[in-house]
Each structure stands twice: as C-alpha cells, then as structure tokens.
Structure 1
Amino acid sequence: MYHFILMSLVELLKRRKIFFILVGLFVRCSWTSEIKCFEEHLDCQQKEHCRHDQPSTQTQFNVVPSSNALLLCTWTCSNDSQCLAFNFFSSSGTCQMYNNPSENCFYAADNCFHMTSTAVNVFYRTITIHVDFTVESLYFDGVQQDLTSSSSYRVCSDTRVIALHASNYANAKFVEVISDDRYILTDTTWKCLPSTPALDGNNRVWYNPDYDDESWLPAVNQDPAYSNFGALKIWSKDDSIAYCRKRFCG
C-alpha cells in the first residue's frame, strides 16, 4: 500500500498540479491525517516562476530521477509546520523552503518552479504613461514593450522592475506613470540618469531587472505643485534624456 501511494504522489508531482501531501502518511497511512496543499505559482502568461527572496532553509537531494527529489522536497516542507512554500530546481535537486509569506516577488529561472500553500494571485494592471515629449523604449522585467500610439499598457502584478527611456529636447520635460489601482506611481523613489547607462559590474544592461542601479540618482520632481493621485511628473537631472527605473521588489 505504501508503494502505491508513493507512486501516485510521484505522478501528481510530475504533473505539477495541486499537490495533496498527507502529514504522517507513512506512519499511519490514514486518510484522516492533516492535509497540506501546495499550488504551483504561475505568472500572468501561465509560465513557471520562482521566488526571488532568500529562502529560510535550503537543502539538496542527490537522487534520481528528479521527481523523487521533488517528492522529498515536498515531503520535507509538508512535515515542517513553519514551511509555507518552496522552490525546486529539477536540474540540481535543490530545495529552497520559505517560512514567510511571499512579497509577490518572482523571477523566471531555468528548471525551477515554485510551490506554495498560500497561493499568490497574479493579475494584470493597466498603467498609463504621460510624457513630454516621447518614450523611446519601455521594459517590464527586461522585456521590451511594443510602443504603439496608445499610452496604456498591461503589466503583470508580479513585475519586479519597470525601466524606460524618454527624451525631450525642448524646455518642458517629464514622464508620469500611474496604474489603474494606484499601486504604480512615478515619484522620487524612481531612479533616473541623464545619460546612457553603462553596463553594471556583471555586464548587465540598464533595463535588466537584476541590474545594479545603486549609484543612480533619485528622480527629480518636475512640478512640486502637481500630483495625480500621488503620481508625480519626474525626469533626470538637468538634461534632455532620462533613463528611469523603478524596482518594486527583489
């Protein structure tokens, strides 16, 4: 009977749907045992993502096939009363466990997916961009967006970084970003540079979500008398171009 249940769990794990792990299963083999449920985290496009923050604990299961390592990772988390979620890297058997709720900060990684017992709902926000004069490029987590005649764009709720390049060679210059739920707002917590950013110490480009922008300057508020539900008109310091970034997590 143990073998049958183990193989059934492995098949469920392979399919990566909702996992039902029975705490104490191999002790009593009782369907009345406490149940802990894990659900895979997917982004707005139904792609696998992993949590970006540091795990509470990490271990590695050097067993093959990887589905067996996944079973051990799931079993370990389910038997830890503090464990709420885990990342699993199928190529290495690495199991990263989390005892704290997610801050909705995720990233795409090869051969990695995230399972959680406290599901995080992902959804699209609509942001509106007002600019004087033009947006040259726009990136969500390093993915370039299609700049159409529309000033509105859909951005997934687990987006970590928004980056944009704007220009204006006249006197007035600003960029303002605001989302429909007022979560995304341009203010002086954004960072802007007045010249083309160099690669960082890891040779990453300025719109990469992991780019090191520690040395960037805070955005300049172009109109202290203006506020659109908290959104400000921002720009770089004293120049005709602005490379701006906002990190929401990670």
Structure 2
Amino acid sequence: MKFVKTLTALLTALVLSVGSLQAAQKLIVGATAIPHAEILEFVKPIVAKEGLDLDIKVFSDYIQPNVQLVSKELDANYFQYRPFLNDYNRARGTNLVPIVPVHVEPFVAYSTKITAIDQIAEGATVAIPNDPVNGGRGLLLLQKVGLLKLNGKPELETPEDPLPTPKDIVDNPKQLKIVELESAMLPRALSQVDLAALNGNYVLEAKLDVSKSLFIERGQDGKNIWGEYLVTRPEDKDRPEIAILAKALNSDATRDFIKTRYQGQIYPAF
C-alpha cells in the first residue's frame, strides 16, 4: 500500500510538472548583443512569473533579425529604431510593426587618431555605416560637427522623413573620403580611418569609452525617432505574450536597470 501511495504521488507530481510545462508560452525574440539582449535577459525572470518562456536569439548584424521575423523563425525582435524599420518595410514590401520603445542609444563620432574634430586633415578618411538609415544618420552627424553640408533637412522631424545619402553632399570643404562599412565592422576599422560615425550598441560591444567620443549625438529628441523598439508582425501585435514582454520592457524595474547598468551611456525611452 505504501508503494502504491508513493507511486501515485510521483505520477501526480509528473502530471503537474508536464501541465506546467505545457502552460508556459514560449516567445522567441531576436536581438543584438549589447544592450538589447542584456535588457531581455533582465526581464526574462520577470515575464517567467507570468508564464512566458523568453528565448533570446542573439544576432551580430542588422539584417537577419527582420528577415527571420518575416519568415516566422522569430516571434519578435528588439534592435532597431523606426527609421530603420520604415526603410526595411519599404524596401522589402513588409509591414512589421513597432510595439513599444525601450531605450535610446547615442550615435557618436569616434577616432583613435585625433582628439578634436578640428584636427581632421585635408583628404582624411571618414567611415559611416553602409546601410541607408544608419549611413544617413552618420552623414547628419558629420554635418552637425561642421565637416559636410547636405542637401535637405538638418534633422529628421518624423520617423518617415528620408535620410541623406552621399549623393546629397553639396559641400565637402576638406575633401574628406567617405567610406561605407558594415556597422558591426566600424569599431574594428578605427585604426584604418581617421574618424568614424558609430552606432551606440557597437560602441558598447567593442568596450569603447563613449565619453571619449569627439561628438555625441544623444538622440533624445522628445519624439522617440531614435528609440529602439520591440517589433513584431502585424498579426501578432495583440498577442498576450507580446503584451507581457512589452509591459516588462517598459516597467520601472527595467528603467532602473538601464540607468544603473549603463550609467548614462544609453537612456530609457519611456
């Protein structure tokens, strides 16, 4: 009789355990490593309390997180701001949607060869990202520090505004050589160029000191144009699992984590 009771108890525990596993909802979210995946790791135990198993897939580029979201290998991603998302949707004929902004990263002018913008020499080589949006933001930064003059608006007023390309350069007084490189490669190319316009996440990944940037464009425009968003497919935007994650990402706890962990190198966007 004792054996039967023990066996019954074990079977009951197993059934409860299996039931619990079945009840947990899994959400696969793509992200770049720093700070996006780190922030997702922070909220992982928070959403687990609401029955959500967060599976974080880390990427080293800006293309695959959207490609895999469209192909349904991911349920959501978190790595991009709205100008980048809008450009991707236009170029690919997709309609991925932003859910909530989480943080804002600086965009910086960085050099290992000079210590001030006015030291840049005639004919110097300046690197910017090779994608249309981050490259355009890089050109706007170069205009802001007085190295170039561009045709068009000096700043984006909405996330839908077009960004400049090298063809929009109308004045290049120092005859700078503008080279376009993949964003992830730019920190490693600093020794080969005189100046680079860098995305904040790759500055952090490369363990560069943001405070040593020659110029910091903080992206805090009050409109969240440069806020980094949780993004999903339109048919999934009202999924309870997406709502649970969005709530956690916009929680007081996450705001405090961003402020404490990154010490002003990135900023909450909510």
Fold match, TM over 0.5? Answer: no
Greater fraction of residues in helix: 2
Greater fraction of residues in strand: 1
TM-score range (shorter-chain normalised) is under 0.3
Normalising by structure 1, report the TM-score. Answer: 0.28
Larger RCO (CA within 8 A; separation ≥ 6): 2
